[in-house]
Chains A and B, each alone.
Chain A
């Protein structure tokens, strides 16, 4: 070695560590959507004097509570890069069983409804996690089987005559607030805690980000995957119970397209279909943006037939907004 060595590098700068500062991207992610939502509220308030009245706001929340409840479970599923198409059928299945077994009393029927959801979710989860069936196919199959079962059981006929206790459960008010809104608020809070402050929530994010790396870090991937479909099924079952109470009917046609409404709320809320990134609060905003828009269209007297078209526009806008941010 005859070349002369340059002096060693100067000491590296100490790592720049700011205490618990969220990255700029994350701020945009959360508050970008929030800003859009605030703007929408402002526009709605400007266009319709009725909009900001408490009765109307509660009505909007009541309308999104069923889709929103389902979308909470869907958020966990989609964060693992999965999908659950069976949730609408779970709603149908639960309404017909709840309607025909209501003589057992409210609490047993609630437990039954949740068990039906859990059962479907468990089958989905086992098929996907242990049977390595793709989530799309597995839950598509369960979607048809669930609704088929609802038709078979109800023989295609609606079941009327829901008892007052159920109506109160799904459609009643507590302290002036619709029960379904209260349920949704509690479930929203629990979901936020589950995703952000428990090990299971972290594992859900980890699996969605990189399943193999999660497995090699000791995460029990199969168990967590079964868990997310279980959660999705149970929440869909609960949504079915609310539906029964709100509409006073058990029918195999209930909940059609709810899976897509839920997916729409999740996607508008900024959760990535590729997994590993998403937020429960975003899903709430997603559901709320759709709900407020529909409400506004009603209030200013626009034909409700345009609602679907507008929902499509919102999804597209949300996706473009997400892309711009990342």
Chain B
């Protein structure tokens, strides 16, 4: 018997149908995942269940009775709490105060009963199965701990259904497991959880069932046991398997990038690896295993303490990103907004930045030549923008990432380092990026790809290097990793 059921829900906005005839049910006590690309209608649905908006047509049944939420308080009152991406906590107050914010227990004289508040806060937190000092100020807590405070706050309302809107978007993998522990504890106590995400790997760790939305329509609801990551991606994008991972056309050639005994402080030591022309090497490992640090050091963004970097067989000294760029290395960094893009500058300037020299004659930039070259790249990568002067901050995540890639294509670099190339972009754009990476490899460029998504590593890499605690823990071919997937995952996690 579903605790919550949507029947033929439709929501229109001017010019767009956000939800079209969507029907599905959420069973009491399950963890139900809701996935879909940007624009699929997830946020609209969440807003509806949180009481922020109302459907134009259709019915919401809660415990088999039709309900209408006129305002957020209505949803909370019947027992539906929503944890939004932006947390609503007072940073200067303690965790305990935040949990009871606005509902402080009182003494008989009307003052706040602090001992009781903290006692009860501890009880609530204990129900979540984690250790958290409720006397600490929220600003001193990690993002994951803050989310847990929000969840604890919801528990005070005796919520029967907890909706989490993309909680993982702001969490590292370690923190994610902390959150999952809490969700499992809640599930055992009978709370129903609706979990929204576009990271597919994690859906399989936490969800019992999954509902897929695409373009505002309900594509399907399945038990997690009946479906695979790739199957989900297909449902989300509407593409077939052949269209998901690019056909491999690249041929592996000579060694282009070689690193010997690279070492840097406490970050990593004794790292040796090779990347050949036309080869995609995956660098796997947990966050903090030293993957990103190795990439940054090869690129000259962080200083190295020892070891040798060879490019095309020649030993090179790379002390700054400028040196790396001159050696033909390009880095597509982990966080495109803070490291990859000039957000308030036009697309054209972003793309030409790493190799302006190409367009300079007699000391001056030939603006026409620049615009032509940039326009070609924008067409080639299918970057959707209103024009070359559009500020990159107004592009979607996928198009922003393609702009970073275009920058390195303009600089004609031979070695690409991708750090989490598809983080935070929707599946359709992911597929496009995979196709572009394959194309780069087919053109004989060497690619080193860091990724936390196992399916991505297995889908793209020819060889996989696993890092653990600052050292290389193993190297295997894609075939070996696919055949022994469990052992491979254990190598990463263990």
Interface presence of B190 (CB below 8 A): no
- Distance to closest chain B CB from A227 (angstroms): 15
Within 8 A of B (CB), among A1-49: 1-3, 5-9, 12-23, 25-26
Q: Is the pair B340, A213 in contact by a Cβ cutoff of 8 Å?
A: yes
Q: Is the pair A3, B338 in contact by a Cβ cutoff of 8 Å?
A: no
Q: Which residue of A lies closest to B322 (CB)?
A: A218
Contact of B234 among A5, A215, A217 (CB under 8 A): A5
A interface, over-half SS:
loop
| Assembly CA distance A281 to B18 (angstroms) | 45
Contact of A215 among B214, B301, B357, B385 (CB under 8 A): B301
Within 8 A of B (CB), among A173-224: 193, 197-199, 202, 205-206, 209-210, 212-220
Q: Which residue of A lies closest to B346 (CB)?
A: A23
Q: Which residue of A lies closest to B238 (CB)?
A: A6
Interface presence of B407 (CB below 8 A): yes
Scoring A15, A23, A198, A276 by chain B CB atoms within 10 A of each residue's CB, the highest score goes to: A15
Render A276-305 as a binary contact track against B, CB cut-off 8 A, 1 for contact. Answer: 110000000000000000000000000000
Scoring A197, A213, A220 by chain B CB atoms within 10 A of each residue's CB, the highest score goes to: A213
Say whether, besides A6-B219, A9-B428, A218-B325, A16 and B364 are in contact (CB < 8 Å): no
Q: Is the pair A3, B222 in contact by a Cβ cutoff of 8 Å?
A: yes
Q: Is the pair A12, B384 in contact by a Cβ cutoff of 8 Å?
A: yes
B interface, over-half SS:
mixed
Say whether, besides A23-B387, A216-B333, A277 and B322 are in contact (CB < 8 Å): no
Interface presence of B342 (CB below 8 A): yes
- Distance to closest chain B CB from A26 (angstroms): 7
Q: Is the pair B383, A15 in contact by a Cβ cutoff of 8 Å?
A: yes
Residues in B with CB closer than 8 Å to A214 are 342, 353
Residues in A with CB closer than 8 Å to B340 are 213, 216
| Assembly CA distance A215 to B364 (angstroms) | 22
Residues in B with CB closer than 8 Å to A26 are 389
Say whether, besides A6-B238, A8-B239, A202 and B353 are in contact (CB < 8 Å): yes
| Assembly CA distance A25 to B387 (angstroms) | 13
- Distance to closest chain A CB from B328 (angstroms): 11
Residues in A with CB closer than 8 Å to B174 are none
Within 8 A of A (CB), among B323-356: 324-326, 331, 333, 338-346, 349, 352-354, 356
Say whether, besides A17-B378, A213-B340, A199 and B357 are in contact (CB < 8 Å): yes
- Distance to closest chain A CB from B94 (angstroms): 34
Residues in A with CB closer than 8 Å to B384 are 12-13, 15
- Distance to closest chain B CB from A95 (angstroms): 33
Q: Is the pair B239, A217 in contact by a Cβ cutoff of 8 Å?
A: no
Within 8 A of B (CB), among A123-147: none
Q: Is the pair A219, B322 in contact by a Cβ cutoff of 8 Å?
A: yes
Q: Is the pair B349, A213 in contact by a Cβ cutoff of 8 Å?
A: no
| Assembly CA distance A218 to B378 (angstroms) | 21
| Assembly CA distance A35 to B39 (angstroms) | 40
Residues in B with CB closer than 8 Å to A17 are 375, 378-379, 385, 387-388
Residues in A with CB closer than 8 Å to B387 are 16-18, 21, 23
| Assembly CA distance A312 to B339 (angstroms) | 38
Q: Which residue of B lies closest to A199 (CB)?
A: B356
Contact of B379 among A6, A15, A20 (CB under 8 A): A15
- Distance to closest chain A CB from B200 (angstroms): 15
Residues in B with CB closer than 8 Å to A13 are 384
Say whether, besides A15-B378, A15-B379, A210-B342, A3 and B363 are in contact (CB < 8 Å): no
Interface presence of B458 (CB below 8 A): no
Q: Is the pair B238, A218 in contact by a Cβ cutoff of 8 Å?
A: no
Q: Which residue of A lies closest to B212 (CB)?
A: A3
Q: Is the pair B364, A210 in contact by a Cβ cutoff of 8 Å?
A: no
| Assembly CA distance A210 to B350 (angstroms) | 11
Interface presence of B455 (CB below 8 A): no
Q: Is the pair B338, A213 in contact by a Cβ cutoff of 8 Å?
A: yes
Q: Interface size class for chain A?
A: 35 or more
| Assembly CA distance A19 to B374 (angstroms) | 11
| Assembly CA distance A167 to B284 (angstroms) | 72
Residues in B with CB closer than 8 Å to A7 are 238
Q: Is the pair B339, A276 in contact by a Cβ cutoff of 8 Å?
A: no
- Distance to closest chain B CB from A298 (angstroms): 39
| Assembly CA distance A301 to B126 (angstroms) | 78
Q: Is the pair A202, B349 in contact by a Cβ cutoff of 8 Å?
A: yes
| Assembly CA distance A16 to B214 (angstroms) | 25
Interface presence of B43 (CB below 8 A): no
| Assembly CA distance A16 to B367 (angstroms) | 20
Q: Is the pair B365, A199 in contact by a Cβ cutoff of 8 Å?
A: yes
| Assembly CA distance A30 to B301 (angstroms) | 37
Q: Is the pair B234, A1 in contact by a Cβ cutoff of 8 Å?
A: yes
Residues in B with CB closer than 8 Å to A209 are 342-345
Residues in B with CB closer than 8 Å to A22 are 389
Q: Is the pair B227, A217 in contact by a Cβ cutoff of 8 Å?
A: no
Q: Is the pair B220, A210 in contact by a Cβ cutoff of 8 Å?
A: no
Residues in A with CB closer than 8 Å to B333 are 216
Q: Is the pair B342, A199 in contact by a Cβ cutoff of 8 Å?
A: no
- Distance to closest chain A CB from B38 (angstroms): 13
Say whether, besides A216-B301, A216-B331, A8 and B238 are in contact (CB < 8 Å): yes
- Distance to closest chain A CB from B113 (angstroms): 46
Say whether, besides A3-B219, A218-B354, A219-B353, A198 and B344 are in contact (CB < 8 Å): no
Interface presence of B64 (CB below 8 A): no
Residues in B with CB closer than 8 Å to A3 are 219-220, 222, 235
Residues in A with CB closer than 8 Å to B477 are none
Say whether, besides A3-B220, A198-B365, A214-B342, A15 and B428 are in contact (CB < 8 Å): no
Interface presence of B266 (CB below 8 A): no
- Distance to closest chain A CB from B431 (angstroms): 11
Q: Is the pair B331, A5 in contact by a Cβ cutoff of 8 Å?
A: no
Residues in A with CB closer than 8 Å to B322 are 218-220
Render B223-235 as a binary contact track against A, CB cut-off 8 A, 1 for contact. Answer: 0001110010011
- Distance to closest chain B CB from A197 (angstroms): 5
Scoring A1, A9, A214 by chain B CB atoms within 10 A of each residue's CB, the highest score goes to: A1
Q: Is the pair B321, A215 in contact by a Cβ cutoff of 8 Å?
A: yes
A-side interface residues toward B, CB under 8 Å? Answer: 1-3, 5-9, 12-23, 25-26, 193, 197-199, 202, 205-206, 209-210, 212-220, 276-277
The 7 closest A-B pairs by CB, nearest first: A218-B325, A209-B342, A3-B220, A217-B354, A199-B356, A218-B322, A23-B389
Q: List 22 A-B contacts (CB under 8 A).
A: A1-B234, A5-B235, A8-B239, A15-B379, A15-B382, A15-B383, A17-B385, A18-B386, A23-B346, A26-B389, A202-B349, A202-B352, A202-B356, A205-B345, A209-B345, A212-B338, A217-B325, A217-B353, A217-B407, A218-B324, A276-B344, A276-B345
Besides the contacts A3-B222, A212-B339, A219-B322, what 7 more A-B pairs have beta carbons closer than 8 Å?
A: A6-B214, A20-B388, A23-B389, A197-B365, A202-B365, A209-B344, A210-B342
B-side interface residues toward A, CB under 8 Å? Answer: 214, 219-220, 222, 226-228, 231, 234-235, 237-240, 243, 299, 301, 320-322, 324-326, 331, 333, 338-346, 349, 352-354, 356-357, 360, 363-365, 367-368, 371, 375, 378-379, 382-391, 407, 411, 428
